[in-house]
Amino acid sequence: MKPMPHSHDLYTVAQVRALDRRAIDALGIPGFELMRRAAAAAFASLRRHWPDAMRIGVYCGPGNNGGDGYLLAAMARDAGLGVVLFALPGDLHGDAALARDAYRQGGGLVHDWDDAAFLVDVDVHVDALYGTGLSRAPSGCAERLVVALNASKTPVLAMDVPSGLNADTGACPGQAVMADVTTSFIAAKRGLFTAQAAGYVGKIELHTLSLPESLWEGSAPDATLMQPESLPRRSRVAHKGSNGHVLAIGGEAGFAGAIRLCGEAALRAGAGLVSVATRESNIVALNAARPELMAHAVEGPQALAPLLDRATVLAVGPGLGKGAWGHALWLTALDSAQALVLDADGLNLLADEPHEFQQPAVLTPHPGEASRLLGMPVADIEADRFAAVRALAAKYRAVAVLKGAGSLVAHHDGRVVACPWGNPGMASGGMGDVLTGVIAALLAQGGDAWHAACLGVALHARAGDAAVGDGERGLLASDLFVPLRRLINGREA
């Protein structure tokens, strides 16, 4: 199936509304016709996913999302399916009222949903409660309906947006429908791809409603979705010096694990040489664990200087600690000219001593580290991850990776990409150290900070998805190394 146009473009709700308006005002397509096409697209999707469905429940809200539901219900009746439709209390206006009237004129019955109601026995539930117009958490009988839908074993198709999910940010202010399929219309809303969205959207299908390409002309998306990529084939005359030299700095006494994972990830992702600057007490363990790493005992900045001269990229922070030793090495690294990736305590030190980077820099915070870097609560970070990742990139003049469900990468020029891969198994110790090493290796092989961060996040998440075949529990960071090598060389993981 040829890729949907714009299937990798992500829009804000305001941008989608502007596209709606353009379709109606500039292309002369009535809003009711858009609603009909949305309903037809969603109904076709329902028939494709559940071809044996004979009876559906449709739950309509008080706006145009509900309007979509009424028209889908009318189409299902015309196709001979059994339809039970419930409506939330609320006055319908405009196209939604016309849609309800059309449903009724075809003989459809509208039942008021209230506490006395219950979920009927159907093959599929259709969620047409709220779409892009959600303004707060569903409450009262709407909330109870969402809870009932999630408690039922019957599959759910969500129209446009799972009700209760914020289409702009992926935040869930309260209860939200956990859909099996979300059929989204005209343009992909950016909130379907980050924050809590992954727990609610199920399989996302984008339907452009057969609108002409001209509709999108001049409408720059707010963000884009990453696409699978790998590194070009290596030159036949490559030697270990031609693929860069990563210097991983970290590993306070007794914390060798993180810096080892970072260094090994850099090797696995193709860096020509990887050195590790760490505490003397870690050297034996590191050499025993991974002799391909060149481990150096560095007890202070003077011992770091010669290593900095030989390195092309620095990876600073895994297991670094925030003590005098770690702080001294961190300061020396920031003052050097090499491109660098900052993670873990390298970020916590930055939060204490903000710094605008002149050299190419990639920051890789999880929401907790981002909270410290921006001086705002984690809840506010997660309430609008797009704003947070942009703020990080701008404040530090760096490329910022905001890790978590639906990792985002921002450039300080405003560009943002979202990662559609990854899984909860990756929320385990060491995964961040591996990502730091991968990004450092891509920088070492000639990528600029933006491409190294985007490709690194994508490869890391795809490797995590490949490694999780045996189950999400017990996934170790080092389990990513094998699929990572396959992916980075353009093979199937």
Ligand X SMILES: NC(=O)C1=CN([C@@H]2O[C@H](COP(=O)(O)OP(=O)(O)OC[C@H]3O[C@@H](n4cnc5c(N)ncnc54)[C@H](O)[C@@H]3O)[C@@H](O)[C@H]2O)[C@H](O)CC1
Where on the chain is the footprint of ligand X (CB under 6 A)? 16, 20, 34-35, 38, 61-68, 130-139, 142, 159-161, 185-186
Query: What does 64 bind: K ion, ligand X, none (CB cut-off 5 to 8 Å by kind)?
Result: ligand X
Applying the rule CB under 5 A, the residues between 325 and 364 that interact with K ion are none
Least distance from K ion to the Cβ atom of residue 46, Å = 13
Query: What does 76 bind: K ion, ligand X, none (CB cut-off 5 to 8 Å by kind)?
Result: none
d(CA 69, CA 185): 13
Query: What does 20 bind: ligand X, K ion, none (CB cut-off 5 to 8 Å by kind)?
Result: ligand X
Task: From 182, 187, 112, 110, select the one nearest 142 (Cα to Cα).
Answer: 112
225 φ, ψ (degrees, to nearest 5): -95, 135
Least distance from ligand X to the Cβ atom of residue 117, Å = 17
- Is residue 132 near K ion by the rule CB under 5 A? no
- Residue 66, annotated ligand binder? yes
Tokens for 304, please give them.
């770091």
Spell out where 64-164 has E strands: 82-87, 110-112, 124-128, 156-159
- Residue 22 Cα to chain centre, angstroms: 28
- Residue 64, annotated ligand binder? yes
Least distance from ligand X to the Cβ atom of residue 450, Å = 31
Query: What does 343 bind: K ion, ligand X, none (CB cut-off 5 to 8 Å by kind)?
Result: none
> Which sign does the torsion angle of CA 197, 202, 203, 209 carry?
negative
Query: What does 274 bind: ligand X, K ion, none (CB cut-off 5 to 8 Å by kind)?
Result: none
The amino acid occupying position 71 is L
- Residue 3 Cα to chain centre, angstroms: 20
Total chain residues near K ion (CB under 5 A): 6
Least distance from K ion to the Cβ atom of residue 350, Å = 41
- Residue 133, annotated ligand binder? yes
Nearer to ligand X, 213 or 492 (CB): 213
Burial class (CB in 10 A: 0-12, 13-18, 19+), 2: exposed
One character per residue 156-195, x = contact with K ion (rule: CB under 5 A): --xx---x--------------------------------
Task: From 259, 260, 203, 270, select the one nearest 235 (Cα to Cα).
Answer: 270
- Residue 371, annotated ligand binder? no
- Residue 422, annotated ligand binder? no
- Evaluate whether 442 touches 407 at the Cβ level (below 8 Å): no
d(CA 472, CA 468): 5
Which residue number is nearest to K ion in terms of Cβ?
163
Applying the rule CB under 5 A, the residues between 100 and 129 that interact with K ion are 127
Q: Whole-angstrom distance between the N-terminal and C-terminal Cα of the chain? A: 23
Task: From 363, 439, 373, 443, select the one nearest 403 (Cα to Cα).
Answer: 363
Nearer to ligand X, 92 or 308 (CB): 92
d(CA 119, CA 6): 37
Detail the residues annotated as belonging to a binding site for (6S)-NADPHX.
64-68, 131-137, 160, 258, 319, 366, 433
The binding site consists of: 64-68, 127, 131-137, 160, 163, 258, 319, 366, 403-407, 432-433
Residues at the contact surface with K ion, assessed by CB under 5 A: 65, 127, 131, 158-159, 163
